[in-house]
Structure 1
Amino acid sequence: MNIGIRAHDLPKQPMEGLIKDIARRGLGSVQLALNKSFDLDIKPGTLNPGMAYLIGSAFRRHDIQIAVLGCYTNIIHPDPEERHSALSRFKEHIRFSRDFGCGIVGTETGNVNPDIIYTEENFHEKPFQDVLSSVRELVEEAEKFGVIVGIEPGVNHPIYSPETMKRLLDEVQSNNLQVIFDPVNLMTAENHERQNEILREAFSLWGDRIAVIHAKDFIISEGRLVPASVGKGLMDYEFIIQQLSPHINIILDETSPEHIEDAIHFLKSCESTS
């Protein structure tokens, strides 16, 4: 299995220390959010090929793949200036992605509110059209550089279901748009008992467009869905792993350092029984 981690789920530290920490834990890839992950302050407009190559080379020396450049931002921010700034920052990541040795830049699809919160206002037609406009703009840039825009659907966003993700893929019609799939992000306290039905629909509609899997888990506490480290909750990972393409990047998400070893063992045990 190709198991990695979001680099910012480990303690923030100097780059070399972070990379050695990742390698020591037996992880082979990362989703890298630059300013969240180590003590480099990369301001908008300062990213360049030399900096990207320096960072990418440091990971390659330890045989760690930068599987995704994380640029998670509100691509439909209600303030037009903030939205423009978010899209410009994402495009900057696209332009230099290949210098990192990475082919995917990822984000969720934002929120009608400045803060990313659950609201059914996201589920109306206008937010979908706003997402479509922003994603088309990002994919147009990605096509110039041979890079994939990875979109992560979730119930806190306008792309909140297997159907809306399928609609976005159909409307954009570009292979430079692919899916970062976090199964827990489609779950709620109300629908989690139908998880296999929802998962089957997702894999049926766009399983061939999944570029990366995020692996976390969930529990239900006081009627609310609460994220948990993978293997510590209710997600049916045996079923999920049965559906995956060989060697796909599986990125641990919201996994605290003390649970990483258990998470790796759990996922490998699911693979052996699938």
Structure 2
Amino acid sequence: MELNLGIRAHDIEGLPLEELTKTISSKGLSAVQLALAKSFTDFSTETGSLSPGYARYIGQSFKKENIDIAILGCYINMIHPDKYERAKLLDRFKEHIRFARDFGCSIVGTETGAVNAKMGYTVDNFAEGPFHSVVDSVGELVEEAEKWGVIVGIEGGINHPIYSPKLMKRLLDNNESNNLQVIFDPANFMSMDYYECQEEVIEEAFELFGDRMVAMHAKDFVIEDNWIKMVPVGTGLLNYDAVFKHLKKRKPFMNVLLENTREPHIDNSITFLRDKYSKA
């Protein structure tokens, strides 16, 4: 069974569209997560710039190199403390929803934001208020997604209100629409409290919402200054044996997308993941 492996397009930096697609293809990768504003500077990516023609031009450029746009990344602070700014960000995400199918993509992805405008870790994210704000914003996005036959992919992590597998399950239970699904990033759920029992955290995630996973991010972590630091795949502590054991059984052929892995690490990380997956 082959591993469907891809990468965040903006982790291959500074290339125009045609060179970007050829470079990704040359590495044997078959999928990308595409965040327009992070990948392209030679044409507008501002809210209001999308159209079917725009989307098809980019989508066909990737398709020409046999690369799927697995996720259209539109990572916003969906609970931004400024309500006007929050509304603008939600509108941007909705625009991505409307044109996702023209990109050849069915998933628009984001994390769940933060109570502070600049994002970043704070325990204030873990209160009940931010959770309910996430529920409201996700509900608004999913309502739009249902109109267009598109999936809202939500990614959890310790820097956000959805900071544990249990909170992700609670979010899903608060919105039963099948247009709400999960982008699973096992490294995001690691913390100083949990990294030594990561097999249990990974198993819990698959048990609680494995049926709602639509893609996975692959990165790694180390402990530095008594805190979690993200590093390229294969250079840290994440237990990929445990991840792939569940992935192979529960979600065969699901896209796995390299994250936080840039040159000169990409080729080694690809080899690492394919080897781990083949032995799982």
TM-score normalised according to structure 1 size: 0.98
| 1:223 equivalent in alignment to 2:229 | no
1:72 CA displacement: 0.2
Gaps in structure 2 of 5+ consecutive residues: none
Q: Identify the range of structure 1 (223-232 vs 130-139) with the bigger mean alpha-carbon deviation.
A: 223-232
Partners of 2:271 and 2:123 in 1: CA distance: 37
How far residue 209 of structure 1 moved from its aligned partner, in angstroms, is: 0.6
Amino acid at match of 2:88: S
Shift in Å at residue 116 of structure 1?
1.3
RMSD: 0.8
Counterpart position of 2:184: 181
Aligned amino acid, residue 261 of structure 2: T
Q: How does 1:34-53 map to 2 (within 5 A)?
A: 34-39=36-41, 40-53=43-56
What is the identity percentage for the equivalent residue pairs of Structure 1 and Structure 2?
A: 55
Counterparts of 1:91-240 in structure 2, within 5 Å, are 91-240=94-243
Paired residues for 1:40-79 under 5 Å? 40-79=43-82
Q: CA deviation at 1:105?
A: 0.1
Aligned pairs, how many? 274
The Cα of 1:167 is off from its aligned counterpart by 0.5
With the length of structure 2 as denominator, give the TM-score of the two structures: 0.96
1:266 to 239, 260, 272: 272
Matched residue SS, 1:172: coil
Structure 1 contact 18–38 (Cα < 8 Å) conserved = no
Partner amino acid for 2:62? F
Deviation of the 1:268 alpha carbon: 1.2
Letter in 1 for 2:273: L
Q: 2:13 matched to which residue of 1?
A: 11
**1:247 CA drift (Å):** 1.0
**What does residue 24 of structure 2 align with?**
22
How many angstroms does 1:259 deviate by?
Answer: 1.1
Aligned partner of 1:89 in structure 2 is: 92
- Give distance in 2, aligned partners of 1:4 and 1:205: 25
| Larger CA deviation: 218-227 vs 74-83 | 218-227
One-letter amino acid of the counterpart of residue 38, structure 2 = K
